[in-house]
Amino acid sequence: MANIKRYIVEVEPGKPAMGPVYRSTFGVEPHIPGMESCWDIFRMSVEKYPDNPMLGHREIVDGKHGDYVWLTYKQVYDMVMKVGNAIRSCGGGRCSIYGANSEGWIISMEEYACNAQGLYCVPSYDNLGMCQCCGIFIFHAEVSIVLSEEKKITEVFKTFPKTAEYMKTIVSFGKVTSEQREEAAKLGVAIYSWNEFLVLGDGKRYELPVKKKSDICTIMYTSGTTGDPKGVLISNNSIVTIVAAVNRFLQGVNEPESIHQFYTCTIFFAVVSLKISSGGFLKNILFNAAYSFKLLGMNNGHKHEEAAPLFDKYVFDKVKQGLGGKVRLILSGAAPLENHVESYLKVVTCSHVLQGYGLTETCAGSFVSIPNEQTMLGTVGLPVPNVDARLESVPEMGYDALSSTPQDLTKEVLVDGWFHTGDIGEWQPNGAMEIVDRKKNIFKLAQGEYVAVENFENIYGLVAAIDLIWVYGNSFESYLVAVVNLNMQAIGSWSNENGLKVKQYILGELSKIGKEKKLKGFEIIRAVHLDPVPFDMDRDLITPTFKKKRPQMLKYYQNIVDSMYKKK
């Protein structure tokens, strides 16, 4: 314990029911002169790197993705000014975008055109039907201009007449059909193709407003696990501060300020494992030996690039090249990685794999782990520079913020100037934070015992035959029940041939893993329902970020839950 390096410092002592306030040893990044807004970040970058490539897209040639075509910072700047002028010529106002990420998305919305003109931007989830969001994203935010992916224009029309009070202009990132023009005319809304919209800005010059740190930059809507999404007002100050913090962090870990690609780690892990397992007996033996050797070296304190350079060159290079050959840093957020997945990725990708933690309200990253520090495995790392963090006690659950391994339970409100995340956390000896659960996912059983359901879902989710699991209990019952989505690849045809035996098998596996993890008797699942349909947004069971909407899940499965309790 004495040899463990500690990456946080105490800046304020603890109080009754509150732990000390901690800050990263990387310190506080001072204000960058001239950087008052999100627009200034871009403007200053254009001044510094006018001819550097900035935005790229891959053109489709004969149905296949071609090479990247790049726009420089100066070219993007010119386009931004043109789009900003077009927005102003339509009356300005708040803008929303509905579609997948694209050059138009970046140029028009969050990054630049709206910021240049001092206008709010309101991004919408592109994986939801617009009708599901209209009452929130359009009406609530009073959006007057919607910029939409070409194939989603029809969905925008469906929001009328509810949004007619505010929506005055629709812009397609592609073309507009004659039928769409007729429909827009009936609804009394202007509609433009992307090229037509850009022409509106030709020959016009609008004076850019002065922007302050305190100004609102964007309204970001959270997923809404317990009801309608909530609009979070994010100021220029929040964005400027987090950018300065990331800049300081990258300097502190000596990592160049460029990140090349992002991957969904759980999917990538499965693909790599599948290819390796099909490589033959000798290749499997070699790979496993190389993996174990490199992991041992990393656990003994060697940097990943120094732990096994020969194995990196002859065994793991194919994995690295599969990612493009230039990836140095992979970030994971939204949900924690399993320890074995994180270790696996660190070894085989020859890259830094970092976990981070943050919320929409905190402008994304608040904690992040650091490279080449295996003691942070399974944690979300340190508070980023410019962030102070503390834990608060949860006496009803036995969590003490002043204990040697304190845990935190908070609410999603500002209290005495502190934002409360709603997560349960635990400081590690090196100063890293481990997220344990959420308070909203805790309930009390009939015998008075508290159950942290998300923690148990992570444990039960280790069963190979399970893809997803929702665990439930209430204060009128003494045990837990669950709804399970099976991993049909793991179960195979066996499930089709054995009927009820599958349910018994799953219960047995759940009990087995529960005992292995030393769960108490009341924490073991006693009844299970197998749902062949994965939890989805169509049934309002998960959010666009794939978090479970627990109240909606209970409502949907209420009869099944009641049946499981009656049968027992």
Each residue of 416-426: pLDDT tens digit?
Answer: 778 888 777 88
Shortest CA distance to 353 belongs to which of 364, 369, 340, 367? 369
Higher pLDDT, 438 or 261: 438
CA dihedral 515, 517, 519, 524 (to 10 degrees): -60
Is the confidence at residue 348, as pLDDT, over 70? yes
Q: Tell me the pLDDT tens digit for each residue of 196-255.
A: 999 998 888 888 888 888 888 888 887 655 556 778 888 888 888 888 887 777 776 565
Looking at residue 170, its pLDDT comes to 95
Residue 178 burial (10 A CB sphere; 0-12, 13-18, 19+): exposed
CB-hemisphere CA count at 13 Å for 433? Answer: 26
**How far, in Å, are 51, 112, 213, 345, 491 from residue 338 at the CA level?**
42, 37, 38, 11, 22
For the record, the structure tokens of 479 come out as: 């045990």
What pLDDT is stored for residue 259 in this prediction? Answer: 44
d(CA 334, CA 356): 8
Neighbours of 541 (CB within 10 A): 22
Average pLDDT score over residue span 350-372:
87
Q: Which residue has the higher pLDDT, 334 or 105?
A: 105
Q: Is it the case that residue 52 has pLDDT exceeding 80? A: yes
pLDDT reading at 133 higher than 70: no
The angle, 0 to 180 degrees and rounded to 10, between the axes of the packed helices 236-252 and 38-48 is 50
Mean pLDDT of 126-144: 70
Supply the DSSP symbol for 390. Answer: -
- The whole-number average pLDDT for the span 372-376 is 89
Q: Are 332 and 339 in contact (CB under 8 A)?
A: no
The pLDDT score that the predictor gives to residue 562 is: 92
Q: Over 90: is that where the pLDDT of 392 sits?
A: no
Q: 265 vs 406, which has greater pLDDT?
A: 265
- DSSP assignment, residue 37? S
Residue 93 confidence class, pLDDT cut points 50, 70, 90: confident
Q: Considering the domain 445-567 in this protein, what is its CATH number? A: 3.30.300.30
Higher pLDDT, 560 or 443: 560
Q: Which amino acid is at 61?
A: V
Rounded to whole angstroms, the Cα distance separating 480 from 514 reads: 12
Is the per-residue pLDDT at 352 higher than 60? yes
What are the pLDDT digits (tens) for 499-534?
558 888 999 999 999 999 888 888 999 999 999 899
For all residues of the chain together, what is the average pLDDT? 82
List the one residue out of 318, 329, 330, 322 whose CA is nearest residue 286: 318
Q: Where are the domains of the chain?
A: 8-13+258-437, 38-211, 445-567
Beta bridge partners of 437: 424
What is the pairing mode between strands 466-472 and 423-427?
unpaired
* pLDDT at residue 131 in the model: 57
| pLDDT tens digits for range 441-488 | 777 787 767 787 888 898 999 998 899 999 998 877 889 999 999 887
User: Between 261 and 321, whose confidence is greater?
Assistant: 321
User: Residue 137 has what pLDDT?
Assistant: 78
What pLDDT does residue 410 have?
Answer: 32
**Mean pLDDT confidence for 298-308:** 91
**pLDDT value of residue 279:** 64
- Check whether domain 38-211 has CATH 3.90.1150.10, yes or no: no
Model confidence at 543: pLDDT above 70: yes
Does an H or E element contain 454, and which? helix 453-460
Most confident among 23-37, 270-284, 345-359 (mean pLDDT): 345-359
Q: What percent of the chain has pLDDT over 70?
A: 83
Q: Which of 544, 566, 568, 550 is nearest to 483 (CA)?
A: 550
* Helices 453-460/500-516 angle, 10° precision: 110
Identical fold, 38-211 and 445-567:
no
- Render pLDDT for 53-78 as a digit per residue (tens, 0 to 9): 998 888 888 888 888 899 999 999 99
| C-alpha span between 530 and 34 (Å, rounded) | 58
Q: What is the three-class DSSP state of 538?
A: coil
Q: Given this model, what pLDDT does residue 224 score?
A: 56
Dihedral sign for Cα atoms in the order 255, 431, 21, 331: positive
Q: What is the pLDDT of residue 144?
A: 92
pLDDT at residue 495 greater than cutoff 70: no
Provide, rounded to the nearest whole percent, the portion of the chain with pLDDT above 90.
Answer: 27
3-state secondary structure at position 458: helix
Residue position matching structure tokens 């030393």: 518
What is the C-alpha separation between 88 and 142, in angstroms, rounded? 16
CB atoms within 10 A of CB 107: 21
> What string of H, E and C letters represents the secondary structure of 135-189?
HHHHCCCCEEEEEECHHHHHHHHCCCCCCCCCCCEEEECCCCCHHHHHHHHHHCC
